[in-house]
Amino acid sequence: MSVKAHGILRKMRSRLESPVHYSLPLGEQLVPLNEQLGQALRLEFSGQINCVHCGRNTNKSFNQGYCYPCFTTLAQTDSCIIHPEKCHFHNGTCREPEWGERFCMQDHIVYLANSSGVKVGITRSTQIPTRWIDQGAVQALPMVRVRSRLQSGSLEVMFRQHVADKTNWRDMLKRSDHHIDLDAERRQLLETCSRDIDDMTQRFGFHAIQVLSGLETVEIDYPVLEYPTRISSLNFDKNPVVEGTLMGIKGQYLMFDTGVINMRRFGGYNIELSC
């Protein structure tokens, strides 16, 4: 093996093709991964972690790559990012109002996806289809367009009374061709929640919530040679060397014959890649 790239790890970049095309950012380098399928790959953590926002050295990574000061002060690491229904921008208490204006006060899409089964999710309209790919969805269908993150989170809370809002990552990594009629699921969910949607419209205004129709389900195929029957999780904190034959890529996971690793979890880690 020879060293192909090294540097600070960021989450994998993806492009919707058939199959999805993946690249791994390491420092200033961008390593294409699809061509490594079926080949031996080695990833070694140097022990150094740098904040993905400010770049400072940190002994521990918070929230997928931030140092503690950034974790406690940035709007993008606030609890309302995980719980968008708690967005407090309108109260004037956003940690970074300019950031909130750019990222939260813009159109969001509430969607149905099939990853480990049917789930509801939200994302900025500009993050389609990246968000679906990051979750390992094999199908996705936009359902409602709204004007802010708070509105999308409020709808998600309503919908999740009837459908899951989480992905079982272990099931996601074992599943491949289990397809669902998402349009039928969408129609049923909208009918079930019709009164609640009307109430939301009264709350946020007539033009704030737009129920989408006439859209086709997006089918997503991943570069996988073989899905694991048993999931063994790999972790740079427990073993600085991750290596094996690369059998597939799905979501933000690399799937080796030796186990699987969530690359997004280790943002900011200094990694050397050899193949």
Say if residue 174's pLDDT is above 90: no
Say if residue 255's pLDDT is above 70: yes
The better pLDDT of the pair 156, 177 is held by: 156
Tokens of 249: 């890529």
Every domain of the chain and the residues it spans: 3-60+223-274, 72-219
Say if residue 100's pLDDT is above 90: yes
pLDDT of residue 145: 97
Tokens of 115: 């990853």
Say if residue 176's pLDDT is above 80: no
> What gap in Å lies between CA 12 and CA 209, rounded to an integer?
32
pLDDT of residue 116: 87
Say if residue 3's pLDDT is above 90: no
Give alpha helix (H) positions in the chain.
Answer: 68-73, 79-82, 97-103, 130-134, 149-159, 169-174, 182-192, 194-204
pLDDT, tens only, 49-66: 999 999 999 999 999 999
pLDDT, tens only, 206-253: 899 999 999 999 999 999 999 998 899 999 999 999 999 999 999 999
pLDDT of residue 206: 87
- Residues 146-180: b if buried by 16+ CB within 10 A, e if exposed: bbbbbbbbbbbbbbeeebeeebebeebbebeeeeb
